[in-house]
Chain A
């Protein structure tokens, strides 16, 4: 069974700090996606990484796919209260279904 493990589970930081969230697996994934979910809403796709070693930037967010395509990280620079939410990584299993990590809950305090 393919699993995605995220760490940390919870993160509470002050505005302006940097942070990194990790998504790890013992299995190889053809691609990984990162979603952000705000309270009371559904997840929204942030990025898809498909090539081992790939780095993608979305404003203050930097996403990296591990060389072996078994892990990914999300780095946020100078976090803002608007970054608060649940961050989920997801990848397709061998049947094509999307499986999700448990998520990292981020709280950015002003």
Chain B
């Protein structure tokens, strides 16, 4: 398996622009997670899906952030409008279970977002 695939790997945009990050989870995994990593706050869970349904979006910072999972093999994280403080590395991960079930989460390589 190719692992979790994320695109783009790098994104530079200007404040106010819309940004869309994409993720293809590992086939057969029924959980998908979106994380954000910054030096200040470390790795934070933004939202996660189970069987394509959003379960917990309490980590989504503002209404400017939205995530969708239209099918089992694709998810998007959208920021509209983007702001400089959104600059971070965004990771997608997938697993066969949630953290409580001790299943391994497999992370993608991340998207490095810079908002100028």
Contact between B109 and A91 (Cβ–Cβ < 8 Å)? no
0/1 interface trace, chain A 73-97, chain B, CB 8 Å (1 if under): 0000000000000001011110111
Interface residues of B in 32-74 (CB under 8 A from A): 33, 42-45, 48, 56
Check B45–A99 contact: CB distance below 8 A: yes
Asked if B104 is at the interface of the complex by the 8 Å CB criterion, the answer is yes
Whether A102 and B42, one on each chain, are in contact in the complex, defined by CB atoms closer than 8 angstroms, is: yes
- Chain A residues within an 8 Å CB radius of B106: 45
Do residues B42 and A103 form an inter-chain contact, with CB atoms below 8 A? yes
Question: Which B residues, 89 to 112, have Cβ-Cβ distances below 8 Å to chain A?
Answer: 91, 93, 98-102, 104-110
| Inter-chain residue pair count (beta carbon < 8 A) | 56
Contact B107 A97 (CB under 8 A): no
User: Using a Cβ–Cβ cut-off of 8 Å, how many residues does chain B contribute to the interface with A?
Assistant: 22
Contact A97–B48 (Cβ < 8 Å): yes
Q: Are A95 and B56 in contact (CB under 8 A)?
A: yes
Q: Which of A43, A44, A91, A102 contacts B99 (CB 8 A)?
A: A91
A positions within 8 Å CB-CB of B: 30-31, 33, 40-45, 48, 50, 88, 90-93, 95-103
What are 30 A-B contacts defined by CB distance under 8 Å? A30-B100, A31-B102, A40-B110, A41-B109, A42-B91, A42-B93, A42-B107, A44-B107, A45-B104, A48-B102, A88-B43, A90-B99, A92-B98, A92-B99, A92-B100, A92-B102, A93-B99, A95-B56, A96-B99, A97-B45, A97-B48, A97-B56, A97-B99, A98-B33, A98-B105, A99-B45, A100-B43, A101-B42, A102-B42, A103-B42
